[in-house]
A = this chain, B = another copy of it.
Amino acid sequence: MKRLTISDIAERAGVSIGAVSFALNGRPGVSETTRRRILAIAAEMGWRPNAAARGLSESRAHTVGLVIARSADTLGVEPFFMKFIAGMESELAITRTALLLQVVPDHARSIEAINDWWAERRVDGLIVMDLWAEDARLPVLESMGIPAVLVGRPRPGGMPAVWSDDAAAVTEAVDFLVGLGHRRIARVAGLPALEHTQVRTAAFHAAMERHGLSPAAVVDTDYTWAAGARATRDLLAAPDRPTAITFDNDVMATAGVSVARQLGVGVPQELSIVAGDDSQLCEMVFPTVTALSRDVQAYGAHTARTLVSLLDGGSPGSFQDTTARLVARQSTAAPGSRTA
- A interface vs B, CB < 8 Å? 1, 3, 46-56, 59, 61, 63, 72-73, 75-77, 79-83, 85-87, 89, 96, 98-103, 116-117, 119-122, 145, 224-225, 251, 254-255, 258, 261-262, 279-281, 283-286, 297
Contact = CB atoms under 8 A, between A and B. Distances in A.
Given A85-B103, A89-B102, A99-B101, A77 B75 contact: no
Contacts of A254: 284
10 contacts: A3-B121, A47-B119, A48-B120, A49-B120, A51-B122, A75-B82, A82-B103, A89-B103, A258-B285, A262-B286
Contacts of A284: 77, 225, 251, 254-255, 258
A100 B103 contact: no
A145 B134 CA distance: 48
Given A49-B120, A72-B87, 9 more contacts: A52-B52, A52-B121, A73-B83, A76-B79, A82-B82, A100-B101, A255-B284, A258-B284, A285-B285
A126 to B, nearest CB: 14
How many copies are assembled? 2
B98 A100 contact: yes
Contacts of A281: 77
A83 B76 contact: yes
Contacts of A225: 280, 283-284
Contact of A51 (B83, B121, B224): B121
